[in-house]
Amino acid sequence: MRDQESRPRAIRSEPKDAERQGIGAIRITLDDIYVAEYALEPGSEPGTPHYHARHSDTFYVLEGELEFVIDGKTVRATTGTILAAPRGAIHAFPVAIGGRAKFLNLHTPGGFERYIRELTAMRSRGETPTDEFFRTHDQYNV
């Protein structure tokens, strides 16, 4: 049995603690999970279809309505809906439908923050990520 000081502690993330990165805000990063929060306005372009070989990509809709494409099927999700793209499932970043939408994006296991931070820095320098960059971060564009 572990003593009190060696026990894992709960992680709490308040909105003020969020790390802004691109269009999202990183909320929690652990070896086991990555959580970010996004707010999208309607009219945005969907992300590039891709899959992850070593982790799952999950979305929880906080408000509004989102449209996803997962394994070639269009899926609409409203407040309270959870959608998961398991390892190997081809999916794309969602678009907001009809109005502003907010959602949480979870990657399990964690570590996805390295990709987000590097991608945001590259784009701010005007650089275009290479296929090798994506593969290094377990993102395989199709």
Please give the pLDDT value at position 6: 67
> For residues 15 and 123, which has the higher predicted lDDT (pLDDT)?
123
Reported as a single tens digit per residue, the pLDDT across 30-68 is 999 999 999 999 998 889 999 999 999 999 999 999 999
How far lies 19's CA from each of 14, 38, 93, 116, in Å?
Answer: 11, 12, 20, 11
Look over the chain and give the mean of its residue pLDDT values, rounded to a whole number.
92
Name every residue whose Cβ is closer than 8 Å to that of residue 120 and which is 6 or more positions away in sequence.
21, 22
Please report, rounded to a whole number, the percentage of residues in the chain having pLDDT higher than 90.
80
Q: Could you tell me the pLDDT band of residue 15, with boundaries at 50, 70 and 90?
A: confident
CATH number assigned to the domain with residue range 39-141, chosen from the 4 options 3.40.1160.10, 3.40.190.80, 2.60.120.10, 3.30.830.10: 2.60.120.10
Strand partners for 101: 40
- What is the domain partition of the chain in residue ranges? 39-141
Report whether pLDDT(5) > 70: no
56: number of Cβ within 10 Å: 15
Distance CA 141, CA 96 (A): 22
